[in-house]
Amino acid sequence: MTLLVQKFGGTSVGNVERIQEIAKRIASFKEQGNELVIVVSAMGDSTNQLTKLALEVNSCPPPRELDMLLSTGEQVTIALLSMALIKLDIPAQSMTGSQVGIITESAHGRARILEIKTEKIRELLKEGKVVVIAGFQGTSLGSGKTAEITTLGRGGSDTSAVALAAALNADACEIYTDVPGVLTTDPRKVKDAKLMRTISCDEMLELASLGAAVLHPRAVEIARNYGIKLVVRSSLDNSKGTTLTSLEKKYIGKEGLELSRPVNAIELIENQSVIALSNIPDQPGIAADLFETLSKGGINVDLIIQSTHQGQTNDITFTISEKDLPIAKLLCEQLINTLGGELTTQNNMSKLSIRGAGIMGRPGIAAKFFETLSRSGVNLRLIATSEVKVSCVINSELGTKGLRCASEAFNLKDKQIKINPTTNFLGEPEVRGVALDPNQVQVSVINVPDIPGSAATLCRSFADAGICVDTIVQSERKNNLDSKSISFTLNKNDRKAADNALKPLLKSWPNSYIQEGTGIARISAVGSGMATQIGTAGRMFRALANENINIRMIATSEIRTSCIISEKDGDNALKAVHKFFKLGSTE
């Protein structure tokens, strides 16, 4: 018999009629002979309504009480859906997260799942029942204390569903929602967004954590780690939807369900060169000119980092393979001659990266990586992060030492350690999807001492305060001989906490201060083919330049390019990049 975990999101159970419709659909799946575990969200926007209520009573609601309140949303839906099923003569039983035994960390509002007890669910399935489980919630077992209700974070019902599928070893997990599947971008913002039949877990992970709300990124992480077949489909019709594919090997082991693998690989790429253009004009089109020129010269650029502009100028730094340096240098010199600014190049560099979906949302991981390197005396020339990868560029002589120390720190085995791996993304599209995240602010710390350990200390301060920084960009420009700036983007809600977290540190660094950027949005393009195709970043910058949109910060990883732009330009940028890469259904 096929065991399916099916999740129905808020809009799919938004009112009584929708619940009755969904019940009919579930009934037909049941009649086809499937065993069914159903996970549901709160009805419509009731989680928002409950949050609003809380804020009316207390502008800073205690996290424990907020979880107590928010978890009631899902409890309403499980009861109503079970009633609707029973009315259709389908035996069903509702269960809260605590009743099932969805054991989580104790962190209210963002708890990760540690374990799911499956005995009770299996018992009910054996009795022929459809088991209807409340998503988004779990229970933490404080040692000797009373069990507490926890929630996983907004959008977390997807994660409940995939985690249940992993724990039950289900045949598939299907996420039913109000769109036909995963589209090239948010159809609410770009009308001709096109459905993808398949997408890799790696690409989806980037898209989901960069703003594509259709899936909770942690759900994708679990699907990838456990090799779960994950499908996103419409709850309104029978179309096939999008299937997520995973190249990763399935690994089974139930301990620490969401916590088991923060880092699952480390890689060292040698023979890299760093090219830095500093004090170049801060105008739309400059980055596009630069990277188009390099692309015409046949040069594949790896990391691109553009830090906050100070005054009227910008610094753009990027890495290329050492063999391309002579020609790249020549092309950059020509550009500098017309634009102004300075050019510096450096050979003999290596890129050291840790990767793993578990890095996301766990600020302590980047901090630990940087701390390990600084303890080994490795200075970081450049830092670039994505949700699932932290990279730094370091001097080659220290490459193997850095690799060894970091591998030990994260307990990585030989097969997880890669030196100069070859990428095999040939034939994949350079851009598969585009996402916009409007909920970001940019903060720069100016006059950070340029000594091993500074980045680590900064990240540690954020981590200890539970703040996740999204993009970390360490600028090339030295403010004076021995200091530099480091810029971060963080979630808007964490802005105040970030100030507090950094206060003690700033006191200990002479002349250091926080510079706040104005409202920003982050636009990202994601595609596996980007790693091997020359010029993708340049094309994205051109799409933005054509709309006269200035780029404030750039951060790239192999399969994504993100640009921080002004908040007001967000929607325009999304449309422009989507169109430029011909992603729409009308293209």
Task: List contacts with ligand ADP (CB under 6 A).
Answer: 9-12, 41, 155, 177-179, 182-183, 185-188, 212-214, 433
Phi, psi of 558 (to 5 degrees): -55, -40
Query: Closest by alpha carbon to 543, among 387, 377, 430?
Result: 430
Burial tier of 132 (Cβ tally within 10 Å: 0-12, 13-18, 19+)? buried
Written as six digits, the tokens of 358 are: 């578990």
Of 25, 64, 120, 154, the one binding ligand ASP by CB under 6 A: 154
Q: Please identify, among the stretches 23-31, 39-47, 328-336, 438-446, the one whose residues bind ligand ASP according to the rule CB under 6 A.
A: 39-47
Beta bridge partners of 269: 351
Taking the C-alpha atoms of 48, 54, 55 and 56 in order, what is their torsion angle to the nearest 10 degrees?
110
Q: Decide: is 429 part of the binding site for Mg ion (CB under 5 A).
A: no
Q: Please identify, among the stretches 107-115, 150-158, 293-301, 313-321, the one whose residues bind ligand ASP according to the rule CB under 6 A.
A: 150-158
Asked whether 254 and 167 are in contact (CB, 8 A), the reply is yes
Closer Cβ to Mg ion, 178 or 192, answer by number:
178
* Binding flags for Mg ion, 8-27, as an x/- string (CB under 5 A): -x------------------
Give the C-alpha separation, 340 to 507, whole Å.
36
Interaction residues for ligand ASP, span 60-89 (CB under 6 A): 73
Q: How far is the CB of 111 from ligand ASP (least distance, A)?
A: 13
Binding site partner of 136, from Mg ion, ligand ASP, ligand ADP, none, Cβ cut-off 5-8 A by kind: ligand ASP
Give the C-alpha separation, 2 to 483, whole Å.
61
Looking up tokens 């200990």, which residue turns up? Answer: 508
Q: Decide: is 157 part of the binding site for ligand ASP (CB under 6 A).
A: yes
Neighbours of 500 (CB within 10 A): 11
Of 11, 47, 407, 474, the one binding ligand ASP by CB under 6 A: 47
Give the C-alpha separation, 457 to 470, whole Å.
16
Closer Cβ to ligand ASP, 70 or 190, answer by number:
70
Q: Please identify, among the stretches 151-159, 367-375, 436-444, 455-463, the one whose residues bind ligand ASP according to the rule CB under 6 A.
A: 151-159
Phi, psi of 421 (to 5 degrees): -70, 155
Q: Please identify, among the stretches 147-155, 203-211, 358-366, 397-405, the one whose residues bind Mg ion according to the rule CB under 5 A.
A: 147-155
Binding site partner of 185, from ligand ASP, ligand ADP, Mg ion, none, Cβ cut-off 5-8 A by kind: ligand ADP
Give the C-alpha separation, 323 to 304, whole Å.
18
Name the 3-class secondary structure at 411.
Answer: coil
State the chain's maximal CA–CA distance in angstroms: 78
Q: How far is the CB of 100 from ligand ADP (least distance, A)?
A: 20
Binding site partner of 503, from ligand ADP, Mg ion, ligand ASP, none, Cβ cut-off 5-8 A by kind: none
Binding site partner of 156, from ligand ASP, Mg ion, ligand ADP, none, Cβ cut-off 5-8 A by kind: ligand ASP
Q: How far is the CB of 436 from ligand ASP (least distance, A)?
A: 19
Beta bridge partners of 349: 272, 395
Helix H or strand E segment including 439: strand 433-449
Of 14, 61, 97, 135, the one binding ligand ASP by CB under 6 A: 135
Which DSSP letter does residue 254 get? -
Binding site partner of 186, from ligand ADP, ligand ASP, Mg ion, none, Cβ cut-off 5-8 A by kind: ligand ADP
Phi-psi domain of 453 (left: phi exceeds 0; alpha: psi -120 through 50; beta: other): left
Name the 3-class secondary structure at 153.
Answer: coil
Binding site partner of 488, from ligand ASP, Mg ion, ligand ADP, none, Cβ cut-off 5-8 A by kind: none
Q: Decide: is 73 part of the binding site for Mg ion (CB under 5 A).
A: no
Binding site partner of 97, from Mg ion, ligand ADP, ligand ASP, none, Cβ cut-off 5-8 A by kind: none
Q: How far is the CB of 158 from Mg ion (least distance, A)?
A: 6
Binding site partner of 384, from ligand ADP, Mg ion, ligand ASP, none, Cβ cut-off 5-8 A by kind: none
Of 97, 155, 156, 181, the one binding Mg ion by CB under 5 A: 155
Phi, psi of 92 (to 5 degrees): -145, 155
Looking up tokens 């932290």, which residue turns up? Answer: 390
Closer Cβ to ligand ADP, 233 or 552, answer by number:
233
CA 234, 239, 242, 247 torsion-angle sign? positive
Q: Which residues bind ligand ASP (CB under 6 A)?
A: 9-10, 41-42, 47, 73, 135-136, 154-157
